[in-house]
Amino acid sequence: MRVLITGARGQLGHDLTSLLIGDEIHATDFAELDISDRRAVASMVRELQPEWIINVAAFNDVDGAESAEAQAFAINAVGPGNLADCAADVGAGMVHVSSDFVFDGTKGSPYTEDDRPNPLSVYGRSKYEGDQRVLNSKASACVLRTAWLYGIHGKNFVKAILDRAKQGRPLEVVEDQVGSPTSAPDLADAINRVIRTPARGLFHVTNAGACSRFEFAKAIVRGAVEVRPITTAESGRLARRPANAALTSVRWAAAGLPPLRPWQAALKDFLDSNAL
């Protein structure tokens, strides 16, 4: 298939591009395509005539978005809307990757696709608007919400914890934030599967299960250093975070797609396979 990938230099983009090596891939990043520029998007889509557009581009600086609202909305909301509209114009399918931060974390149990979002931050609001623009477009689209993504490329929580652990000192990690850690290679595989099916609409796609950031960090360091729990308030972060934004799906398996493996198994495989 002919596939246009936006945000291809990020951690998920790298894994996705490598996985789709048997297809005709056109991998772009911001330098090649500013997705907030409607004319640039339309021109590239008309020229390439892709069968699928996969958008993994995002403004992911949660704290930075608080003081860069216009930029966050341009990339996370306007951009996906542009891609969806242009996908519809050429009859292409679209996959857009979204976030657990569209929820406020007060439900007390994992969120399904049927739960109503209530984002707490600029980042969360921008991602939710992007979801809406894609789902309300005329494109044949899938919106995949994921969480706590990590991989060998780019910046992520797993790599940050491993780097800090190398210093040999105890780590302080928040224990009052719960989510669904997700392997970028596993999510890339899920995207590869969904574009070869008739499945469309909104899906939550994460590795199975949930944990706190504190529990996640302990699993990452595997006893190499002490991990001490702190509160979100003590962490001094600027943007509000959902307390428990764990995700689960009531639609993925119903669409005939295999569930992702437990987060513990994915993390073990990642740590065993990569010398970081």
Residues of the chain with pLDDT under 50: none
pLDDT tens-digit profile of 5-21? 999 988 999 999 999 98
Give me the domains of the chain, ranges plus CATH numbers. 2-155+180-208+245-261 (3.40.50.720)
What is d(CA 170, CA 192) in angstroms, rounded to the nearest whole number?
A: 39
Backbone angles phi, psi at 237, to 5 degrees: -70, 145
pLDDT tens-digit profile of 210-223? 999 999 999 999 98
Which pLDDT belongs to residue 276?
A: 57
Could you tell me if 257 and 198 are in contact, meaning their C-beta atoms sit under 8 angstroms apart?
A: no
Which pLDDT belongs to residue 257?
A: 95
Taking the complete model, does pTM exceed 0.85, yes or no?
yes
CA of 165: how far to CAs of 33, 71, 232, in Å? 37, 33, 20
Ramachandran region, residue 7 (left: φ > 0; alpha: ψ -120 to 50; beta: rest): left
As a dihedral over the C-alpha atoms of residue 104, residue 107, residue 111, residue 115, rounded to 10 degrees, the angle is -80
Sign (positive/negative) of CA torsion 256, 80, 4, 189?
Answer: negative
Task: Note if 111 is an active site residue.
Answer: no
Which pLDDT belongs to residue 25?
A: 92
**Which of 111, 123, 128, 150 does the annotation list as catalytic?**
123
